[in-house]
Amino acid sequence: MTNSKNEMISAGDGSPKMTTRNVNVFYGDKQAINDVSIDVNMDNVTAFIGPSGCGKSTFLRCLNRMNDTIPIAKVTGEITLEGEDIYSPTMDVVQLRARVGMVFQKPNPFPKSIYDNVAYGPRIHGLAAGKDELDNIVETSLQRAGLWGEVKDRLLDSGTALSGGQQQRLCIARAIAVDPEVILMDEPCSALDPIATAKIEELIHEIRGRYAIVIVTHNMQQAARVSQRTAFFHLGTLVEYGETSEIFTNPTETQTRDYITGRYG
């Protein structure tokens, strides 16, 4: 990348699912994101990497307006989903967050049964006509999240009684249940052990292509394993965005190279 932050940066083949143009984010007077333009494609998993405080999570949270919940946060620029401006006054934010689901660092199942955790979204969005259809959505979502086999005999147990890795997959099943177009994952494995992490990575591989996936991760090997496109952020700017294979074997920018080879500090 030739530092073309103001130009469109393609996300690869196919039309972009989400586009961002000249996005700036301010927390009060402090600018957290500086003029970032990125496209997110349906066919790819996109990874955001960078040191703590580089703005990658802040930027991720712009994609489904999670920053709205922070009173001093201000977002400028343009972010579209399927060509629609998500910051337009007519955008229904609840609807937006169903279309652009999110999975957080720490698993946060509702203190309800496994079944109700997954059924919650379809219920409030009226996605199921009856019990059979809802059962069907719950089963399909849990299967896609790779959890069905482990919980099918105890769907009425509490979601919080599951292990950390299972809880995280439950959260992914919950996001999947409302049939989103995009799934944002903010360090989904940082609280999990290696086996649970591997299961999430396998799950990402399985559902890739069905949803556009954006993952923020501190684990560079994970970014290299699960993504096809990688964006490197530093001090609120997008330093480099390109093919994952290229970023991790032959990055263009010195800053990217220093970060991924463990030379910054």
Q: Is 47 in the site for other proteins (CB under 8 A)?
A: no
We find the least distance from the C-beta atom of residue 256 to other proteins, in angstroms, to be 8
Judge whether 41 and 229 are in contact, CB under 8 Å: yes
- From residue 166, alpha-carbon distances to 17, 100, 143, 163, 213 in Å are 29, 22, 12, 5, 20
We find the least distance from the C-beta atom of residue 22 to other proteins, in angstroms, to be 24
Binding span for other proteins by CB under 8 A among 74-82, 107-115, 186-194, 216-224: 216-224
Binding mask 3-42 for other proteins (x = CB under 8 A): ----------------------------------------
Backbone phi, then psi, for 239, in 5-degree steps?
Answer: -80, -45
One residue of 51, 77, 87, 112 binding other proteins per CB under 8 A: 51
Among the listed residues 16, 70, 233, 173, the one whose alpha carbon sits nearest the alpha carbon of residue 241: 233
Q: Is 221 in the site for other proteins (CB under 8 A)?
A: yes
We find the least distance from the C-beta atom of residue 265 to other proteins, in angstroms, to be 4
Judge whether 135 and 148 are in contact, CB under 8 Å: no
We find the least distance from the C-beta atom of residue 217 to other proteins, in angstroms, to be 14
Q: Cα separation of 146 and 189, whole Å?
A: 15
Query: 48-78: buried (b, 16+ CB within 10 Å) or exposed (e) per residue?
Result: bbbeeebbbbbbbbbbbbbbeeeeebebebe
Closest CB to other proteins among residues 44, 256? 256
Closest CB to other proteins among residues 69, 221? 221
User: Parallel, antiparallel, or unpaired: how do β-strands 45-49 and 212-216 relate?
Assistant: parallel
3-state secondary structure 190-205: CCCCHHHHHHHHHHHH
Q: How many residues bind other proteins (CB under 8 A)?
A: 22
One residue of 138, 224, 231, 238 binding other proteins per CB under 8 A: 224
Q: Is 189 in the site for other proteins (CB under 8 A)?
A: no
Is the backbone of residue 129 left (phi > 0), alpha (psi -120 to 50) or beta? alpha
Q: Is 258 in the site for other proteins (CB under 8 A)?
A: yes
Q: Is 207 in the site for other proteins (CB under 8 A)?
A: no
Q: DSSP 3-state assignment of 113? A: strand
Among the listed residues 31, 26, 104, 108, the one whose alpha carbon sits nearest the alpha carbon of residue 71: 26
One residue of 48, 59, 241, 259 binding other proteins per CB under 8 A: 259
Binding mask 232-251 for other proteins (x = CB under 8 A): --xx------------xxxx
Binding span for other proteins by CB under 8 A among 10-18, 117-125, 204-212, 256-264: 256-264
We find the least distance from the C-beta atom of residue 32 to other proteins, in angstroms, to be 16
Q: Which residues bind other proteins (CB under 8 A)?
A: 51, 220-221, 224, 234-235, 248-251, 254-265
